[in-house]
């Protein structure tokens, strides 16, 4: 059963002027699509072929002989999750239980933003920054390359892609400006709340 790349949850120009249609054309249409194609090629005719993408990611993590399957599978998952973490009407402040837990575990929304920006800006090279639920508490973590916190028993709630291909066409080397824009204009708190409610 080949894994299908899900459709983008909005039009390619929907995040303009913050993230351009050109970026999404390459990022969704080339980078993400290539991870999906390679993943399907690597799992074909293996025991992983019948497993869900999440199960394959967890089963192949840390196994050097399965690095190609893990890297392409995790990147397939991470990008789908990332598209949903943004919205044309994003930004603002979270509500409900999520707002309560951010205050409880991060101190305040501003403190969360500082921690998330710091994690995203200081991820050396390629990777991701995440808000996760870990042992019932919110935490901010960063991961290298394709790595996903789900392999450590943490539930991803929010992510930002900090591979250069995510921001270079729009922000060039200014990764901190991309992170600020993500948090101020794009973050889809409703999706983060859905993920939290499903995990609690």
- Give one DSSP letter per residue of 26-69, joined into a string: HIIIIIIHHHHHHHHHHHTTSGGGGS-HHHHHHHHTT-GGGHHH
Of positions 24, 83, 127, 161, contacts Mn ion by CB under 5 A: 161
Residue closer to Mn ion (CB basis): 37 or 134:
37
**Of 11, 5, 26, residue with least CA distance to 78:** 5
User: Is residue 170 close enough to count as binding Mn ion by CB under 5 A?
Assistant: no
- In terms of CB distance, is 28 or 112 closer to Mn ion? 28
Tell me the closest approach of the beta carbon of residue 80 to Mn ion, in angstroms.
11
Q: Cα(57)–Cα(125) distance, rounded to whole angstroms? A: 22
Q: Which of 83, 163, 167, 171 binds Mn ion (CB under 5 A)?
A: 163
Using CB under 5 A as the binding rule, whether residue 35 contacts Mn ion is answered as: no
Minimum distance from residue 31 beta carbon to Mn ion (Å): 5
**HSE-up (13 A, CA, CB side) for residue 35:** 23
Catalog residues that contact Mn ion under the rule CB under 5 A.
Answer: 161, 163, 166
């Amino acid at each position: 059963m080949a894994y299908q790349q899900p459709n983008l949850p909005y039009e390619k120009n929907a995040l303009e002027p913050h993230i351009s249609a050109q970026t999404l054309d390459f990022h969704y249409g080339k980078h993400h699509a290539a991870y999906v194609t390679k993943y399907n090629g690597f799992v074909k005719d293996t025991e992983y072929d019948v497993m869900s993408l999440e199960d394959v990611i967890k089963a192949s993590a840390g196994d050097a002989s399965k690095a190609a399957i893990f890297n392409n599978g995790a990147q397939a998952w991470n990008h789908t999750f990332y598209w949903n973490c943004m919205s044309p009407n994003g930004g603002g402040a979270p509500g409900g239980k999520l707002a309560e837990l951010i205050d409880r575990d991060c101190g305040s929304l501003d403190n969360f933003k500082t921690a998330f920006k710091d994690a995203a800006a200081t991820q050396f090279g390629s990777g991701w920054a995440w808000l996760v639920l870990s042992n019932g508490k919110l935490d901010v973590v960063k991961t290298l390359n394709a790595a996903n916190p789900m392999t450590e028993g943490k539930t991803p709630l929010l992510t930002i892609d900090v591979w250069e291909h995510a921001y270079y066409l729009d922000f060039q080397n200014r990764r901190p400006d991309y992170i600020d824009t993500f948090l101020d204009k794009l973050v889809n708190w409703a999706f983060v709340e859905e993920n939290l409610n499903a995990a609690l």
